[in-house]
Structure 1
Amino acid sequence: MVLVVNMRVFGVAGLALVGSLAVASASTIDLDYVGQEKGAVNTYFRFLGKNMGASAGGFTFDVAGTGDRLLGWCVDIDHVLIQSATPYTPNPGLFGSEVVTNLDRLFTQHYADVVDAVSSAAFQVAIWELVYDGGNVSLGGGAFSLRGATPDSVEDKAADFLVLDERAGGYLLTFLDSQASPVKSQNLVTAAPAPVPLPASAALMLAGLAAFAFARQGRRA
């Protein structure tokens, strides 16, 4: 649902964490909007020359036919989230390498800091900034910028989140492309913790156990 007030558009803006669901292997999934888990903060911004606003906070979805829930973040201000069952397909080519790398760094370094409504809104703001302004990060200008009505707590936390170093690879990101027709829903990104590589000693031990089990099976045969 979109509420237009004095030429400002209030849409649903997305935060999300992701559960154990491996969406990357699915061809199409249907997502049914549930709510905003960690609350939301009204956030005001200017996007491509238009004054806009959104209730920024966590998106939780039921994944149709699975009994699973998924949490995702909005990467698409151009569209409004459809709050009923909507088809999505994973699309690794949704963004170029710069955006993907920057989002990887953001999730790796700050995803664990999303603990309440303010940090959820700030994380969403940081995502929008990296998607739309890329390497020229500034919440005060560019294609996406915050306006004065945004609470200082959200702006300050978003600025903290955008201080990034080279660390990456902490999460596996999946970009979900809306297949809704004739009107698209928002595209999303979800994140799942990246598998932790086993130390070399542990890998050797597992290989040895596997070889031992195979040898025992061979003797029984």
Structure 2
Amino acid sequence: MLDKGTGQSLIAWCVDVFTAISNKFDYTVGSPSQLNRSDDLQKLVNQRYAQVTDTKTSAAFQLAIWEIVTDTGGGYSLNNGTFQASGFGNAQALAREWLKLDGVNTGNYKISYFYDSILNDKNTSQNLIAVSAVPLPGAAVLMLSALGLAGLVSRRRRASKSLPGAEHQHSVAAI
């Protein structure tokens, strides 16, 4: 997918397993809350997106997305319900594991939802999601840097006290 504003390509995953993708449509950016089970989709993204590094993990991620936004029953299973998948081997097993949604967050990510703007999301072209990292605000970066520096100064002080003759040494830290 190509972002016309920046001219940059964008990696995106299909949302609707029943509709083909078309490159002849302009997409509108919608809210991820328009998707079924958007909270669970956000959990999946925050827990597993950093692990999507090859074709197997990308296929697992795609299967998990389809399962979350397509299935309507309780819980997630690739074996029954509205969405069922087979023949994906290790990617399918990985998707099943990821669908437990019990992992630790590996990042803070934003989901961008793109839909066909011509016919008001009437399944004429594939709806897509893209994922991007949410950068830390400048104040948070500054605070983390200050904490790291304070930890370094504290560690140096402890290390210097443990050396023989350290009682006579003085250290000064300038910030």
TM score, norm. by length of structure 2? 0.68
Instruction: Tell me which residue corresponds to 1:187.
Output: 127
Instruction: Tell me which residue corresponds to 1:141.
Output: 80
The one-character-per-residue Cα deviations of 1:158-203 (angstroms, maximum 9, x if unpaired) are 1122121386671111111112459721011111111224449739
Query: Are residues 1:164 and 2:101 paired?
Result: yes
Q: 1:88 aligns with which of 27, 36, 47?
A: 27
Matches of 1:201 and 1:90, distance apart in 2: 32
1:140 Cα offset (Å): 0.9
1:105–1:167 CA contact under 8 A, matched in 2: no
User: Which structure 2 segments of 5+ residues have no match?
Assistant: 147-175
1:76 partner amino acid = D
Instruction: Tell me which residue corresponds to 2:91.
Output: 154
Q: 1:70 to 1:167 in 2, by over 3 A?
A: same
Q: 1:200 to 1:79 in 2, by over 3 A?
A: closer
The one-character-per-residue Cα deviations of 1:55-84 (angstroms, maximum 9, x if unpaired) are xxxxxx1222532111111111231101x2
Q: Tell me, what secondary structure is at the counterpart of 1:71?
A: coil
Q: Tell me, what secondary structure is at the counterpart of 1:165?
A: coil
Matches of 1:157 and 1:183, distance apart in 2: 29
TM score, norm. by length of structure 1? 0.55
Q: How does 1:58-77 map to 2 (within 5 A)?
A: 61-77=1-17
Matches of 1:65 and 1:104, distance apart in 2: 25
Instruction: Tell me which residue corresponds to 1:106.
Output: 44
Structure having the higher Rg: 2
User: Which structure 1 segments of 5+ residues have no match?
Assistant: 1-60, 206-221
Which ranges of 4 or more aligned residues in structure 1 deviate by more than 3 Å?
Answer: 166-169, 180-183, 197-201
Q: 1:177 to 1:200 in 2, by over 3 A?
A: closer
Instruction: Tell me which residue corresponds to 2:161.
Output: none
1:112 partner amino acid = A
1:70 partner amino acid = L
Q: 1:124 aligns with which of 62, 66, 71?
A: 62
1:140 partner amino acid = N
1:102 partner amino acid = D
2:127 partner amino acid = N
